Each structure stands twice: as structure tokens, then as C-alpha cells.
Amino acid sequence: MTSPDAQEHAQEHAQEHAQPPTRSPTRPSQREVDARPYDPAPGRRYAHLWGYDDSGFEFVDARTVRLTGSRYPLAGAPLPHFMPFVEALLGVPVGPEHVQESVPPPALPAPQRNEAFVTELSQAAPDLRLEGDDQARLVHSHGQLSVDEIYRLLGGIVPKRLVDLVAHPSTEDEVRALVRLADQHDVVLIPYGGGTNVSGALACPPNERRMVVSVDMRELNRVLSIDRTNGWVEVEAGITGKDLEIRLEAEGLTTGHVPDSVELATVGGCIATNASGMKKNRYGNIEDLVLDAVLVTPRGEVRTTPVVPRRSTGIEAQRLAFGSEGGLGIITRATLQVWPLPEVLRYASLVFPDFAAGVRYLQAVQAAGVRPASIRLTNNTEFRLGQALGRAKRGVGALTSKLTKYYVTRVKGFDPERMVACTVVMEGSADEVRQQARGLFGLLKAHGGLSGGPENGRRGFAVTFAIAYIRDFLNTLGIFGETLETSAPWSRIHAITDAVEAELRRMCTERGVAGTPYLSYRLSQSYRTGACIYFTMGFCARGLEDPVATFHEVEHRIREVILEQGGSLSHHHGVGKIRQDFLPRVHSEASIESVRALKRALDPNDVFGVGNHVFHTDDPSGEATEPTSPRAQHRRGTTRAP
């Protein structure tokens, strides 16, 4: 867990004054490669689940699980404490006997075909790769919404509406041809990046009668140019975050953009959802990183030239790409800032007696201007989850663990049921990291904190990349779970977390949910004025008459509670479809209408008819609501008599 305070401060002091490792300026050191929390090697992805098919949780015996493969630091060794922790937390039995085998999907409905479109497309872009088989259609018709998409798919229930064809453009000219011909032939295009969204953003509107084409952008994945003098890289938008970082590392550079989905998400997808990464303190959010982006719409390309640090040339239309969620066009390329790889990479962990002390500490860190690359505070439940994912310790390691626990709990008086932890990543030059460490540890004692050591910090950062695999594994055991995130002022953090916890328990009790619901949360990104609260909620759905409906009722109410208590609708997951009905509560009528006016100007025939954000064309009852042009009205049968 942690080491005795004096020993840890000695260890921190030794690291602070150690000479940074030397390395070639054009490639990462072996230490940096070993410290990466995921394997840079390519892999084959699961068809529907999260991640790579060489990785996943499985039972070793009735009480022990392991993460397969060797892709993540957590993988390989048995994890004997995890399942007992889950059982104790949820208050329900969980074992191999509860595994629900997946059901193959039924025969898919025949695709809609627009033969004139397909014929002209093959002539205009003869090298464009097209897929129309059932597997490709099904994979591209959903994201990673755990209950509404993944759980249903594992149960053999396919989406109400599937894409009809999948296009894999490899050039911008092919994208332009797709957009032009789709507009001419009344075809819907849905941009597809890494497929990692958890907002229902890839679901087809169920009543769409036109041909729907998924545009998989991952073959548009080149690094077009690197400008060391000006500090930027130009890339095609289909490159994944992982592949971009690997390419840049070979040049001694980084963007510093590390969302949880960095292995799978594309640059275009990050822009379209207005994403944030775990190292935003040092490198910024996606809107800070991107200097320019090209958005191809039915009315032409939206872009501004030249690429410069900043402009004052009026309203910049290319910023429409941020948060557009596939509703305005296709992002084909972007220019991002880059930095030299940090000279020093250093982890740390900090432990506090309770969540309130940790929040006060984070706020003090922000007020003091201390900027580690990443600093994340977990609540007690998530802290204990991290401990439960530890490997079995033997010999000296087991003895040290017992002594540490005794020191922290008996000598320092920390309650294991209340204590929390911060995971810290410090990056930069040796001097910068020393200053970050001085600032962080200088504020620690005043807030009742202890150092937990660098190894716990490294491990805590790495565990993040296993969370989605845990979610999918528990899903097969009838344990539903999903993430919700919000941005909140410092003054509202405790009101939000307390209200969410109370309402989750109340609703689950009212609906007869077995055992106790699960709620963990962390402050994943912090700002001068507040922080992102990243919730993970879940409960045992076994025995419920309609578990999916129950989960949606609970989740929807939790989002309402967050808004009622002063939180935002989203911090970085976006709106998609699951948050649409909340939009009138967070945007004024004029704001919503101005965005819809942009849609009418750039895409009057609703080519990009995926229906996210305020661009929806069908409500949950299946009634058309927002036709965008006379042609769209006629197509949906909603034209009115004069």
C-alpha cells in the first residue's frame, strides 16, 4: 500500500536529486518504454467489446481472476483479492457459475441499397474499399455504451437500425467523393473513428429509411509532416492516439494527449467529441492542442489558413469541428502542437485521511500554480478497488505490506474505510520536475497527507487502462456498470458526490436491486476553478424483471441529480444520444437554434444524419422532429399542407 513516511520521503528525496537518464534525442529511453502503461505493439481488436482480443479478465479458479496476455502491467499474474472485494462491496455472490454466455446475433435484416450511389461511387473512387457483410455492418453500428449496446449485443439483440455499408477511405479525395455523392443521392454518412464512445453516438436513428454508410476513417492514418521549428505535426484524422505517439516518440516528440482510450481512439474522434486527456495539466485539452482542422461538409471544406499560433479574424468556422459528433461533416486532417519528450518522467502517490482532505489539497495545488502532468484523486471505493487489483505478495514483500498497513492505520490513524489516494505523474526537464515535486510535497503535510511512493503512483496510473476490461467482464456476470463525468466548481464537488451516492442507493432499494450498488469516483482533471468528477456506477442486475430499463432509469436520474447540484452535462464524453433530452437545460433556445442553423447551412439535406447532440431527427417514440430541408421533410413524410 504505502511505505513508512520517513522511508518514503527519503526515497522521494533521492529521486529528486538523482541525475536524469541520458537517452538519444530521437527515441525514448528503455525506462520510458517500460513505464508506458500499455503495449505499443499492434493487436487485433474485439469485434464488439472494448480493446484487444488477447486481453480480458478470466477466472483462474472460483475465487481468483487474472488479466490475460501481456499487454498491460496488470496482466499475467493471478489477482486473488479482486473477486472477494467485488462480493463484499456489492453484497451478492459472484463466481464462474454466474457467467452468462453470449448469444450469437440473429440473421441481420437486409441492407438498404441505393444502387445509383454505389455505382457512381465505384466510378469516382475505384480504389475505395467497401464492406457489406453482416459482421462489418454490425461492428460499425454501435460504440461502447455498456448496457444499451454491449450487453444487448452479448444477449443476441442487435440495434434496431444497422448501417448498410462500410466505406474505408484512404485519401481525402475519396472522402470528398463520398460526401458529394451522398448529398446528390440522399445517402446518410456516419463518421467512424475508434468506436470507443460511450454516449450512443454511433447508433443509427431507428426510423432512417435512407441508405446508411459508415465511413471508417482508420485508413487515413498518415503523419503528413512534422515541423520541429514551429512545434507542430500535421496528421490525417484517422490515426489513433497510440500510433501517433509511437511515430512521434521515434522523433523525440509527443502531443501529450493521453485519454483512457488513447490506444483505440482517433484524432478525428477526439476532436469531434471535444476530448480531454489525463495529462491535460501540462499539455492541455484537445481544443488547446489542435491548431487547425479540416472539416469536409456537403457545402465544401471548412478550414482557415495559414496555420498560426492564434488569430483574431472573427468567428472561426473550423472550430465547428469540436464537439460536432459527426453531425456536420468528416474531419480529415488536423495540425497539433508537439513537445520534446520529457527529460524526466516521475511517478508519485499521495494518501489522505479522507476525500475532503484530498479535495482541499488539489485545490491548493491549483491555487499555488503547481502543474504536474497528471494528478488524480480517487475516493475510498476506487482506492480500495486499486488495492484489490494487487497481486499476491510473499516473503519480504508480504512483510513490508503488513508493516506499511500497520504504520498507516495504527501509527498515523488512517481509517481504511475512509482514506483516499492521489496518483501523480510529473514530466519535464530535471529542474521542472524538481520544482513540481517541491510544490506537491511542500503542500502535503498541511493537508494531512502522506507519500505513498513512486511505485504506487506508476501502478495507479497503469490500472486506468484495465478499467474498461473490468466493466465488460463484470457485465458477463450480470453486474451492470457505466461511467458518467461532469465538470464542477470546487464549491459543488461534495454536494454532487453526496447527492449522487444517496440517490443511487435510494433508487436501487426502491427497485429491488439485490445487494448494494457500486459507486466510485475520482477527480480526474483539475482546473483553477474546479475539477472533473469521473463517476463509475453499477449494480447487480440479476433477478430484475427488466434490467436494461431499470439501469436506464437509474442512470438518467443520476444525470439529473448532477445537473441539479451544479455540475455540467459532460466534461469530455460528449452528448451523443443518451444526453440529448438534457440539452434545453444547459443551452438556451437561441444557442440551440444557432447550432441548428449551422447544420442547415453546411448540411441542408442531412447527409450527416446520425442524430447526435441537437441534430436529432427522431425522438425515442420514433416521431420525426427536426427535418432540415424540404427534401428531408418529404423523405420523412413530414411536409405540411400550405
Q: Among all residues, which ones are annotated catalytic? A: 534
CA-closest candidate to residue 472, choices 145, 203, 103? 145
Instruction: Say which residue the cell 456537403 belongs to.
Output: 298
Q: How far apart are CA 85 and CA 466, in angstroms?
A: 16
The dihedral through the CA atoms of 602, 604, 609, 614 has a sign that is positive
Q: How far apart are CA 373 and CA 255, in angstroms?
A: 12
Q: How far apart are CA 444 and CA 437, in angstroms?
A: 11
Spatial contact of 582 and 278, defined as CB atoms under 8 Å apart: no
**Would you call 171 helix, strand, or coil by DSSP?**
coil
Residue 288: all three cell numbers together:
488547446
Residue 216: all three cell numbers together:
471508417
Which amino acid is located at 143 in the chain? G
The gap from C-alpha 419 to its chain's centroid, in whole angstroms, comes to 26
Strand runs labelled E in 163-237: 165-168, 188-192, 212-216, 223-227, 232-236
Spatial contact of 170 and 127, defined as CB atoms under 8 Å apart: yes
Helix, strand, coil percentages, rounded to 5, for the chain: 40, 20, 45
Distances in Å between the Cα of 347 and the Cα atoms of 32, 122, 451 are 12, 53, 11
Spatial contact of 539 and 90, defined as CB atoms under 8 Å apart: yes
